[in-house]
Amino acid sequence: MNDMDLSPVRSAARQLAGLLPGPETPGGEMWRFFHFQTVDYCALERTVRLACGQRKLQGQPLFVSAGEFGSWVSGGDGKKRKEEDYDFEGSQELCGVLREGHMIFVWQAFPRGEAGPSRDPKYSQLMLEFLRYCENRRAERLWAGEHGSAWEEREAASRRVIFVSYGPSCPLPELLRESLRVIAYPPLTAQDFSVLLQEYWHRNEECRQGRYGGRELAEVLLGPAGECPVFDSKTLEWYADNMAGISELNVRRLLGEMLSRGSADFSRTDEIEPVIVNYKNKVLQQHGRLEVLPSGSVAGRNIYGLDTVEKWLESHERIVREPGLAPTGILLVGIPGTGKSATAKLAAQVMHLPLVKLDISRILGGYVGDSEKGMRQMLEDLKFAAPCVLWIDEVEKAMSGANTRQGEGSGVMERLFGMLLTFMQENERIVFSVTTANDISQLPPEFFRNGRFDQAFCVMMPEYSGCCRIMQGKLTPYMRRLGWLGREETVAPGYAREVFNGCIGTKEHPRFLTGADIEAHVRELFSEYGDGRGGCPGAEELAERMRLVAGRMRAQASADSVASMRDIAFRYLDLIQRGFIMAGSSETPFVKENLNLDGVRYYRFREGDRGLPESCVRHPDPEKLHRELASEIPAEWYDARFFQCLVHEMDELVIYDRERTPEETRRSYYELMASFRER
């Protein structure tokens, strides 16, 4: 056994050795067709030679391409004549090789994982004819009995010719597939990377000293490990996790690429990660289904009002790479523009993992079965990209038909949705999912069952202090570009607060903004400043300009916008009733304890119904709310007024229980109303 053979080849060789023919194996019962799940022909050869050595087979293995072997048994012209069968006994080339005592391995490559049998019918026909030939030999042996050596020479081809193929999959007809054994290659282990990193450390040292050739190369490859610094187990496990799914050949190519760039420090995983991510990204770009971004390329922590989510991510970061303990993912649902997408980037940064964005539209096909095949390929790509953070943005749009039972298209989306949910729950690779949604009314109930997500967060409007911090973060880059701030300077908190006060309306007619609204207001504000000549205006002047801009800009919600307030109130109460926790720790204006949720279960099913009595929605301190509304300080009335508007709209809403039929809902609704009248 070669000392340089790593565990994938050794494991595959053990599988193959148990299936190769031996003295105790009757010729009619041996396996003749094998498929190796590798894209490396060298790995196939090493596996076969190692297995033959373990099996102690006589003769050296001889590798012959399927085209050359077909030429041998078809008369040498390379084409099989219709009036004749393949001749596996009369071929001079084949008989000559068999007399030399070789085991013949006829190989064929299948580089495309989705290739069909029609792509290479000659190889399938050759295997089919050989299978028939072996079955005829078996029948003759059974008819003649187990005695006599007259059959040995005629059976030489049936016992010593084996067909092997390699590639992502083996596209063969069903008859041949039943006679095929698949040889799997497990991923490289931490111990394998211990051997590899020591080897390439020696190569790195030789490169630095300028000695790299002939005998020196052999000394590098087989040099004593004691001269190499010992890599700690954490580093080796990092390599095993991040390079899982990459073949040994391509791992060696990547390590060699690092050497070609100069002296490589293989213990610096932060320097090695971009090389691995770049390689995976180039592979995935060829497929066109996923894109991988390194964790260092995502935006910094510039989200506000989601401190509960951030603390949750930080507390789970230490176990995200632990098999069996790693969290599966989180769900964030709320109104648009509140930082849900930015949270996916934050998760990649906190977890120190690459970020992968899923785009369902890239896998949809126009023919029957194309979409399901695209989803299977995408999930395989996702395993290849792991460990990573999977970002599924606005999942309700991607899976909008999964909760319906009408139409052909809805059935396809339902199947795709089921495949994705199964992967999220049963996947063994490190894939932490961050799923965002604006409206979950079209998602099926099974989406929210336990096990899909570790935690579900409700993301609503940022409170006043959070809005001021967002304004500060949005003003800073514009003012730096205009030369009003230095490269390292930021806008003062008081300056940002006064500008924000200019775009929230008045106490009587407030305008409630999301982070996206604030960004749009700032962009519109600075579109009027051109090259910034004249210097930085004062806070009052900029706030006055912001008031003019706000007059022609829309806001996410306002006291006068009944439709938007009702929509926000409905989403909020629906999420709280489902058990979501708030993404921010602020108690104002969104606090679960402000609601009596005992009877909140049903949605308004008939126009004109007022829904639940006022006792189902209450504020803990009406006097405090009144005092805050009487204040002239925006920091005191902004959140309170929003909460007042929200409560007013929730007083007219009832949540529909999707687990019940309309008849059950109507009956329970009237029972609920009767119970309140009795009180």
Residues 341 and 445 in one domain: yes
What is the 3-state secondary structure of 261-284?
CCCCCCCCHHHHHHHHHHHHHHHH
CATH number assigned to the domain comprising residue 416: 3.40.50.300
Residues of the chain with pLDDT > 70, as a percent, come to: 73
* 432 and 297 fall within a common domain: yes
Cross-strand partners of 182: 35
Residue 284: inside a domain? no
Q: Which of 118-127, 144-153, 390-399, 649-658 has the lowest mean pLDDT?
A: 144-153
Q: Tell me: pLDDT of 594 over 80.
A: no
In degrees and rounded to multiples of 5, residue 422 shows phi and psi of -65, -40
Q: Which domain holds residue 145?
A: 7-183
Return the closest-CA partner of residue 379 out of 240, 489, 284, 299: 284
Closest CA to 574 of 461, 460, 404, 464: 460
Q: Which residue has the higher pLDDT, 502 or 89?
A: 502
| Backbone φ, ψ for residue 518 (5° rounding) | -65, -40
Same domain, 105 and 162: yes
* CATH code at position 81: 3.40.50
111 and 12 inside one domain: yes
pLDDT number for residue 1: 43
Residues 296, 257 share a domain: no
Give Cα separations from 477 to 445, 480, 531 (angstroms).
Answer: 43, 5, 14
For Cα atoms 410, 413, 414, give the angle at the middle one, nearest 5 degrees.
85
Residues 416 and 546 occupy one common structural domain: no
Residue 79 has pLDDT above 80, yes or no: no
Look at the chain and report how many structural domains it folds into.
5
- In the structure, what pLDDT confidence band is assigned to residue 540 with cuts at 50, 70 and 90? very high
Looking at residue 599, its pLDDT comes to: 46
- Across 409-465, where does the E strand assignment appear? 431-437, 455-459
Of 253, 290, 244, nearest in space to 275 by CA? 253
For residues 486-512, give the mean pLDDT: 91
Residues 411 and 490 grouped into a single domain: no
Residue closest to 651 by CA, chosen among 614, 599, 600: 614
The whole-model pTM stands at 0.74
Residue 426 in any domain: the answer is yes
Judgement on whether residues 212 and 152 belong to the same structural domain of the protein: no
Note whether 66 and 164 are same-domain residues.
yes
Q: What pLDDT does residue 612 have? A: 44
Q: Which of 558, 581, 612 finishes a domain?
A: 558
At 333-345, the pLDDT tens digits run: 988 888 888 888 8
The H or E element spanning position 69 is helix 66-73
**Measured distance CA(100)–CA(60) in Å, rounded:** 9
Confidence class of residue 492 from pLDDT cuts 50, 70 and 90? very high
504 lies in the same domain as 530: yes
Give yes or no: residues 43 and 178 share one domain: yes
What is the pLDDT of the chain when averaged over all its residues?
77
Cα dist. 444→152, 201, 284, 413, 658 in Å? 65, 53, 30, 12, 9
Distance CA(498)–CA(464), nearest Å, equals 12
Contact 200, 266 (CB under 8 A): yes
Q: What is the pLDDT of residue 232?
A: 83
pLDDT at 664: 64
CA angle 38, 43, 45 (to 5 degrees): 120
Residue 653 lies in a domain: yes
Asked whether residue 106 is domain-assigned, the answer is: yes
Going by pLDDT thresholds of 50, 70 and 90, the confidence category of residue 545 is very high
Residue 622: pLDDT band by 50, 70, 90 thresholds? low
> Which residue, of 233, 267, 301, is where some domain finishes?
267
Give residue 417's pLDDT band: very low, low, confident or very high (50, 70, 90).
confident
Residues 276-286 have a mean pLDDT of: 85
Q: Does any domain span residue 574?
A: no
66: how many CB neighbours lie within 10 A of its CB?
Answer: 19
Tell me if 584 is assigned to some domain.
no
**Residue written as tokens 């060696």?**
252
Q: Let me know the angle formed at the C-alpha of 71 by 66 and 74, rounded to the nearest 5 degrees.
A: 120
Q: Residue 10: pLDDT above 90? A: yes
Say if strands 557-558 and 511-512 run parallel, antiparallel, or are unpaired.
Answer: antiparallel
- Residues 262 and 408 placed together within one structural domain of the fold: no
Query: Does residue 576 form part of some domain?
Result: no
659 or 366: whose pLDDT is higher? 366
- Of the three residues 158, 183, 208, the one that is the final residue of a domain is 183
The per-residue pLDDT for 124 is: 86
- Does residue 83 lie in a domain region? yes
C-alpha–C-alpha distance, residues 397 and 345, integer Å = 20
The distance between the two most distant Cα atoms of the chain, rounded to a whole number of Å, is 110
